[in-house]
Amino acid sequence: MNYILFDGSVREALLPFTFTRPVADIRVGILTIREKWEKQLGYTTTTVTEEYLSDKFPMVEMDNNVMINASFLPNPILIEMVQALEPLQAIFYQEEIVAFYTQDSQEEIDFDQYEAINYTGDLMQIANKWDIFMKNDQAIREDFEFLTEDRISEPIPSSVNAIGHQDIFIEEGAKLEFVTLNATTGPIYIGKDSEIMEGSIIRGPFALCEEAQVKMGTKIYGATTVGPHCRVGGEVSNSVLFAYSNKGHDGFLGNAVIGEWCNLGADTNNSNLKNNYGTVKLWNYEQDDYEDTGLQFCGLMMGDHSKCGINTMFNTGTVVGVSASVFGAGFPKTFIPSFTWGGCENSTVYQLEKTLETMKVVMDRRHVELTIEDIQIIKHIFKETEM
């Protein structure tokens, strides 16, 4: 069967993270949404997304295709329902389409001809950018159960102070000595070839993905995910870092989502609670205005390739776009557009040529190629967001 993940109606609500990726490639829990579907279906997937992303994330269409709304996270019941779909059948959840079996091209779909199958249980959907950290607790628990089923963890080193051993899983090649792990509050997953340095204290739910690193003396509260090749230090609470991003020094990061290839300077802090304990508003790209999240705790949302200088202070509910370089005295604004250079008192445009130069240097350090597809995506976003 050919499975295709599509962005659905929530793509705009997930900006700035979906500027540079389909909805399917958002990380929540241990795995990305795509990885969850592929591992549970036992098939690879392709993607229907924005045209400017399609060279990097192409769609492969066959005679028989099952289309899946990538904003929904799979569970065993949903997987069975998707695998059982017949032509001209569609699964709905609260009137929103979850998946459908089509033998037509994407331009010819008429849902009036489809048999509707309603999913009546609870489904986890990533419908807003803050859902990424809000639903990370449940997502880590579900990924942990799936990934560790019928498997045996590497032994916990004798120097590790561990509580809740049965909910700690260590993959091959991981290094950790003289750290404290408390899995009584949620499972702790330590990925392949990752490292937790001495003196770190971690409470679950927590996921440290492949080749990621926790620096010495770090304090981490769940539910937190440190994506592949990321580096974290200082104090982190209920945050998700996608991949290849660094928060390597002291400072607080809480109720936050950090994209790929970001860097937070030493002693960067974000506020996650307003002084009046009111609900937090976040920038909404589609409305071109702020929206009330209804959340009391909400910190920093930072798009791919963005950076900030040392001692940066992000206010409650700050949204930073793609490839911004934030620095200067005082608090930056709570919305920092893509390609901003500065962001506190005075700012200008981070010119495209300089952006691409920096991207290449940063990615070369991690032995990752800046591809033509990557460059074309950044050029498109620069033009789309140009003021």
pLDDT at 112 over 90: no
Residue 386 binned pLDDT confidence (cut-offs 50, 70, 90):
confident
pTM, entire model: 0.96
- Res 234: pLDDT: 98
Residue 106 binned pLDDT confidence (cut-offs 50, 70, 90):
low
Query: Which tokens in the block code for residue 310?
Result: 């040392």
pLDDT at 350 over 70: yes
Query: Which tokens in the block code for residue 256?
Result: 């936050």
- Give 84's contacts (C-beta < 8 A, 6+ positions apart): none
- Res 139: pLDDT: 98
pLDDT at 105 over 80: no
Q: Is 106 helix (H, G, I), strand (E, B) or coil?
A: helix
The closest of 136, 137, 174 to 153, measured between CA atoms, is: 174
Q: Which residue has the tokens 């999240």?
A: 293
- Res 219: pLDDT: 98
- By percentage, how much of the chain surpasses pLDDT 90? 93
pLDDT at 387 over 70: no
Q: Please, what is the average pLDDT of the chain?
A: 96
More confident residue, 188 or 1: 188
Q: Residues 251-285: pLDDT tens digits?
A: 999 999 999 999 999 999 999 999 999 999 999 99
Mean per-residue pLDDT for 69-86?
97
- CB half-sphere exposure, 272, CA atoms < 13 A: 21
Cβ count near 353 (within 10 Å): 8
- Res 110: pLDDT: 82
Q: Domain 131-385 adopts which CATH fold?
A: UDP N-Acetylglucosamine Acyltransferase; domain 1 (2.160.10)
Q: Residues 216-256: pLDDT tens digits?
A: 999 999 899 999 999 999 999 999 999 999 999 999 999 99
- Res 330: pLDDT: 87
The closest of 114, 110, 135 to 125, measured between CA atoms, is: 135
- Res 346: pLDDT: 81
| Contact yes or no for 162/179 (Cβ under 8 A) | no
Alpha-carbon distance values, 109 to 98, 106, 114, 154 (Å) = 15, 6, 9, 49
